[in-house]
Chains A and B, each alone.
Chain A
Amino acid sequence: MRRALPALVFASVAGLAQAEPVVVGDAIPAPLTAAPGEPARGRAIVADRTRGLCLLCHPAPIPEERFQGNLAPSLAGVGARLTPGQLRLRLVDSRRLNPETLMPAYFSTAGLVGVADAWQGRPILRVEEIEDVVAYLATLRD
């Protein structure tokens, strides 16, 4: 019953026009930034319940974070199951793969309803943060 999504509109960052991520199949193969992501920073974002929010739904191999959700698949081994490009698309806009997904689009503001003023027009993560998270998730191989 959900409407088909309009053509994907990717968020742009504070006036600086972002190159639109190019989707190839089920992946965004090309990194969104020139500088590569940093896994340690990505881990911190994943662990942070107010930034990445990941642990609200996903269990992850971050033992110092005791209370992790069980609503979504474990992130353990996700780097072995998915390529960085596949991870990137799932972060940027998981709806591209499953319109009913629970997972928020971390770098798309398309089709959102009733967003609070403070978050209007802003993606959940910045491109650098997306790349950091992709870099971290890619290290989760067991």
Chain B
Amino acid sequence: MSPWRRQGWLPLLALLLGAAGPRSGFETMTPELQAMQRDDAGNPGMLSVLEGEALFAREGCAACHAAAALRGVAARYPAHDAARGGPIDLAGRIAECREQRAGRPPLPRESQPMLALQSFVAHQSRGLPITPDPRLAEARAEGERLFRERRGQLNLSCAQCHETLAGGRLAGANIPEGHPNGYPLYRLEWQALGSLQRRLRGCFTGVRAEPLAPGSPAALALEAYLFGRAAGLPIETPAVRP
């Protein structure tokens, strides 16, 4: 097959996938918010990326990891971890690396330094498509079960809002498809950068359900499923969302 022909296919494929594929929350934001995310000098999430970059150097991460080699890493997470026999997410990997290899005290998942390190690492993959780890099929299946399970006093599932009703309006707010491709991200509601786990906690609390414990097998399974259903979407870290 001639290279021409092969290339001819790609845009068509992209178009077809684009039409039916996942839609980033970015696309349904106002032009002003899109501009805020796009502009590195104005995106408030970049402050965390900068902080992460400084920490990365100060904590000696660069001794093993060249920043350039981090490109693409976040697009492959959550990944299969042989030692755990299951998924590990980016925050989990960073925590493990710091503690076991660098001998540093643990950082809580939601702490500012951890969010900063995570946003710095994920930022290196900005623009790269999410490529789910094929070894996580089992976790994704469990995650999908959780995604479709109705829960909480309001008895709603993730799927009801973020699949069936995506694009509708819950009160004044647009319901996005709920993809994880921009985390950690700067949410105007938080007025801060936060993790996917924090966002999930918000949703669970919203339907008056007990949130999943961050880093628990259930939380990792749901995360693996969310990244699986967002396959192909570019990493946007640090995204900006309302």
Contact = CB atoms under 8 A, between A and B. Distances in A.
Interface of A: 2, 49, 53, 55-57, 66-71, 102, 104-105, 109, 111-119, 122, 124
Interface of B: 149-156, 160, 165, 168-173, 204-205, 208-211
Contacts of A69: 168-171
A68, A113, A114, A119: most-surrounded residue (chain B CB, <10 A): A114
A104 B160 CA distance: 12
A55 B156 CA distance: 16
26 contacts: A2-B150, A57-B170, A67-B171, A67-B173, A68-B171, A68-B172, A69-B169, A69-B171, A70-B169, A71-B169, A102-B160, A104-B153, A104-B155, A109-B153, A112-B152, A112-B153, A113-B149, A113-B155, A114-B149, A114-B209, A114-B210, A115-B209, A116-B204, A116-B210, A116-B211, A117-B210
B27 to A, nearest CB: 19
A55, A57, A105, A112: most-surrounded residue (chain B CB, <10 A): A112
Nearest to B206: A56
B208 to A, nearest CB: 5
Contact of B205 (A57, A102, A111, A116): A116
